[in-house]
Amino acid sequence: MNMKNILVVTASIFGKDGQSSQLVEKTLEQLRQTHGEIQVTTRDLAAEPVPHLDATRFGAFLASADERNNDQQQVVDYSDSLIDEIHNADILVLGVPMYNFGIPSALKAYFDHIARAGITFRYTENGPVGLLQDRPVYVLAARGGIYAGTANDSQTPFIRSFLGFIGLTDLHFVYAEGLNMGDEQKHNALTEASRDIAALAS
């Protein structure tokens, strides 16, 4: 059995104590049971935030390789390193809390740095085409209220659209919802999420 390389991306402002981060850990435990030894690369966006996209950084992405200055090359090298982590991963595991109906701004900044024309997607006469080789992506979504399947779930369609845009379509969502709606609801939600993780990752 070949060792699986796992890229973990977490975005909880509470770090390892965040519910989404704890769901990530449960997923890794299940992946170890399924695949044996795994190699895990972790990118904690709360501990090491990706800079938000601004005109300077976007300009670096647009500049041709032979015209970049040193500062622009550093921006591109940093973005390349994030993309290389995805290339090297057999499986992606994303911990996604919901903040004010959306994904954390740190995760949006990360997405902005891995969306690179000619690198992770390209435009064609028939529209954009993702350039990343597809692989399984587990999305562990923790929410204080109940949103899945409602108009207020802005996360799921956005994540599907964005990751599909760069070529990642093998997506598996696990939801733990209503975590702020009382102890019983929280317990039931986390129990159900654990069952879903076991079923998905086995």
Domain for residue 73, yes or no?
no
Domain for residue 110, yes or no?
yes
Domain for residue 42, yes or no?
yes
Q: How confident is the model at residue 137 (pLDDT cuts 50, 70, 90)?
A: very high
For residue 84, the domain's CATH number is 3.40.50.360
Domain for residue 152, yes or no?
yes
State which H helix or E strand residue 173 sits in.
strand 171-176
Nearest to 155 by CA among 169, 139, 166, 167: 139
Domain for residue 121, yes or no?
yes
**Burial, 71: exposed, middle or buried (Cβ in 10 Å; 0-12, 13-18, 19+)?**
exposed
- pLDDT tens-digit series, residues 94-135: 999 999 999 999 999 999 999 999 999 999 999 999 999 999
Domain for residue 72, yes or no?
no
Binding residues for FMN, as ranges, are 12, 98-101
Binding residues, as ranges, are 12, 98-101
pTM for the full model? 0.94
Domain for residue 62, yes or no?
no
Whole-number Å distance between alpha carbons of 89 and 159: 18
- Domain of 28 in residue numbering reads as 4-52+80-201
- Indicate the number of domains in the chain: 1
Number of residues in the chain:
202
Domain for residue 46, yes or no?
yes
Mean pLDDT to the nearest integer, 2-21: 95
